[in-house]
Amino acid sequence: MMRLFRPLFRLSLWIVTFLLAMPVLTVLLSWLQWNGVSAQILWEMSQNVLPEYVRTSVLLCAGVSLGVISIGVVSAALVTLFDFPLRRTLEWALLLPLAMPAYVVAYAYTDFLQFGGPVQNTLREWMGLQGRVLPEVRSVWGAVCVFSLVLYPYVYLLVRAAMAERAHHLMEAARLLGAPLHRRILSVALPLARPAIAAGTALALMETLADFGVASYFGVQTFTAGIYKAWLVMDNRIAAAQLATGLLLAVTVLVSLEQRAQSRLRFATGRSDAQSTEARAHTLKGWHGLLAFGLCFVPVLLGFVLPVLLLCRALLESVQSMAVPWVRFVHWSLNSIVLGGVTALLAVGLALWLSSQARFNGTALTRGLLRTVGLGYAVPGAVIVVGLLLPLGWLQSVWPQSGAGYWLTATVLGLVWAYMVRFVAVALQSVGSGYARIPSTLDESARLLGVSGWRLVTTVHAPLLRKPVAVALLLVLVDVMKELPATLVLRPFNTDTLAVMAYQLARDERLGEAALPSLALVVAGLLPVILLSRTLGREK
């Protein structure tokens, strides 16, 4: 029976991969359309601005890596290896910044910290100073801070999982062998977490590279900003796509680094060892406990509590002058949640299927396909939009009866497609790393007992994959709700989402009013974050 379906499976694998890789392929194929105009534009840019764009992007990535690793690893290590006041609360609170779109945090902090903002005004009054008293928020360093604060949860989430699963009993063993605490951390816990650190950082960097909202508001000239300029201002989609190839190259390097890291996870055992009750967390008392609490609380404070308070303040200031359209608000929220939910289910389903295929037929080809699909995450939403619109526009023009152009935008198909292109990678990361942790000996034992194919997936793999699947669902849902460029261009009539409304108001420079949908976006994002942390908590 299975044998009969195999070619069919193969074929569908190819089709799905092609659909997901199409925007990326369009980018690559743009080199075939190389012509004088785009060459001239690229040459001009390389003479004047490209070196600076590259420098800025590299600087940004270096800063963000440093930021997310230090915040993510320290907090994850503290909450898994130690016990201190309010640890249980902080364990899930540390995930809260995930619910914050980076551009919202950027707006909130700018308003608060800029030259004419309340902080600088107060400082000037107190100290009797003139002029600028704080460095400019809207700079590369400001962007590094914003990204580090909202993206560290990726590292935290993965490192915490890695440490919770394995560190305890190995730490216990090291303790019994007489290793002091600092050695146990430095030479047991951290090396164990290294693949997770790499995976989390790769995700954070891809998100940084794909960003346009923060960069454009801060006036930071990143490589992505250059792509947008070539497309929007120079009106040359070919030059834009060619520049995007550069970005893709950088991402390919990131992804392969990350996958090398993942492959090292294979030494792991399949069982979660957190149950080994003899491995108790080290209790921190006195000022040590306070310090641990402080280190974990500061990221939550700066990445979530403070921006939310700032948004509330902006809202209160402008609330007298506006009528809040509550009914439409519910409508926007529903749109956001439905789009996010549907995409999350599809993406995770697909990730499960693709990863299981890769596991069973782990040829270089399948792995290559998976890698191509994974590239989408770092591609700026607008490039994906171009990558979808170009080929479909072509199809529409050679075959007008197909209505391809209509199906893409008048229904949610195009939008969900674009989301899948970008976010299947996120689901793949999580599910893939979950799969990597299931030893292949388990499959072999199952096969010896007569369980194979789909039944192997449902009865053996599925229970072991519960946690990574939950993580994947959450990440995709939250990412979709925050997504902007594709939503803005591809959504059907009358389907405004919270992210779109927040952007429209912010674009119209009504930051006070934009605070309301932004806050709603945060609240809507909170729900899955809390659900996830509860799932993760229960599993332990």
Partner 1 sequence: MRHWSWAIVWGLMSGVAMAQGGVLNLYSARHYPTDEALYSDFSKATGIKINRVDSDDAGILARLKSEGSASPADVILLVDAARLWKGEVDGLFMPVQSKILESAVPAQLRAKPADTGGTAWFGLSTRARVVVYDKLKVARQEVDTYEKLAEPQNKGRLCIRSGSHPYNLSLFGAMTEHLGPVKTELWLKGLVDNMVRSPKGGDTDQIKAVASGECAVAVTNTYYLARLMRSSNPAEKAMAEQVGVVFPNQSSWGTHINVAGGAVARYSKNNDNALKFLEYLVSPEAQNHFANGNNEWPVVQGLKLDNPALKAMTGGSFKSELIPISAVGMNQIKVQQMMDRVGFK
Minimum distance, C-beta of residue 540 to partner 1, in the bound complex (Å)? 40
How far apart, in Å, are the Cα atoms of 136 and each of 62, 225, 314?
Answer: 20, 20, 20
* Helix, strand, or coil (residue 148): helix
Quote the radius of gyration of the chain (alpha carbons, Å). 24
Its sign, for the CA torsion 305, 116, 106, 320, is: positive
311 binds partner 1 (CB under 8 A): no
The residue within the footprint of partner 1, chosen from 29, 488, 530, 531 (CB under 8 A), is 488
318-327 contacts at long range (C-beta below 8 A, 24 or more positions apart): 318/510, 318/512, 318/513, 318/515, 319/512, 322/512, 322/513, 324/516
CA gap 241, 107 in Å, rounded: 29
Nearer to partner 1 among residue 277 and residue 494 (C-beta): 494
Cα 65 to Cα 23, 32, 368: the distances in Å are 27, 35, 26
The one among 197, 498, 505, 526 contacting partner 1 by CB under 8 A: 505
Single out the residue of 9, 83, 133, 136 in contact with partner 1 (rule: CB under 8 A). 136
Bridge-based pairing of strands 82-83 and 282-283 is parallel
CA–CA–CA angle 60, 61, 63 (5° rounding)? 65
Minimum gap (Å) between residue 466 Cβ and partner 1 = 31
To partner 1, the closest distance from the beta carbon of 424 in angstroms equals 21
- Check residue 229 for interaction with partner 1 (CB under 8 A): yes
Q: Is 439 helix (H, G, I), strand (E, B) or coil?
A: coil
- Structure letter (DSSP) for residue 284: P
Following DSSP, what letter does each residue of 369-405 receive, concatenated? HHHHHHGGGGS-HHHHHHHHHHHHHHHHHH-GGG-HH
How far, CA to CA in Å, does 232 sit from each of 34, 296, 302? 18, 42, 34
What's the rounded Cα separation, in Å, for the pair 502 and 523?
Answer: 14
Q: Which of 70, 245, 272, 318 binds partner 1 (CB under 8 A)?
A: 318
- Considering only residues 15 to 74 of the shown chain, the ones binding partner 1 according to CB under 8 A are 41, 44-45, 48-49
Q: Report the C-alpha gap between 189 and 340 in whole angstroms.
A: 35
Residues that bind partner 1 (rule: CB under 8 A) add up to a total of: 68
Stretches 73-81, 231-239, 254-262, 357-365: which one binds partner 1 (CB under 8 A)? 231-239
Residues 398-427 that bind partner 1 (CB under 8 A): 400, 402-413
Q: Residue 2 or residue 398: which is nearer to partner 1 going by CB? A: 398
Q: Indicate which single residue of 178, 321, 448, 450 sits in contact with partner 1 (rule: CB under 8 A).
A: 321
Which residues, numbered 145-204, are part of the site for partner 1 (CB under 8 A)?
A: none
Q: Shortest distance, CB of residue 294 to partner 1, whole angstroms? A: 33
- Residue 122 touches partner 1, criterion: CB under 8 A: no
Stretch that binds partner 1, among 159-167, 202-210, 318-326, 472-480 (CB under 8 A): 318-326
Of the residues 54, 59, 138, 282, which one makes contact with partner 1 according to CB under 8 A? 138
Among 7, 178, 463, 509, binds partner 1 (CB under 8 A): 509
For partner 1, the closer CB: 368 or 492: 492
The span from the CA of 34 to the CA of 531, in Å, is 49
Catalog residues that contact partner 1 under the rule CB under 8 A: 41, 44-45, 48-49, 110, 115-116, 121, 131-132, 136, 138, 216-219, 221, 229, 231-235, 317-318, 320-321, 385-386, 389-390, 392-393, 396-397, 400, 402-413, 485, 488-496, 500, 504-505, 507-510, 512-513
